[in-house]
Amino acid sequence: MSSAFCKIDDKFVPLYRILWISEVPHFCGEEDCICEGMYEVRLEQDESVWAQSPAERDLVVTAMEQWCKGQDGGLGGDPDEP
């Protein structure tokens, strides 16, 4: 898992475009809100994508963590190596 992309809501999103990931499900009180209960993943340029479940949200968080480690370790090293 060294990909810089993560699949969210059937879209491959570049991890470096993600600003933040919501911990709690979206709720805004709008009757016709189509995003209620989904987890917002905020992107640059005022865009958002929506994780459909806590599991999908966690996959994004994990992908971000792996990707950040890859950035630190650098130079294509295996994350399992010291």
Binding site for Zn ion (CB under 5 A): 28, 30, 33, 35
User: Burial level of 48, CB count in 10 A (0-12/13-18/19+)?
Assistant: middle
For residues 7 and 26, which CB has a smaller minimum distance to Zn ion in the complex? 26
Least separation in angstroms between residue 13's CB and Zn ion is 20
For residues 33 and 68, which CB has a smaller minimum distance to Zn ion in the complex? 33
- List of residues 6+ apart from 1 with CB closer than 8 A: 63, 66
Least separation in angstroms between residue 57's CB and Zn ion is 16
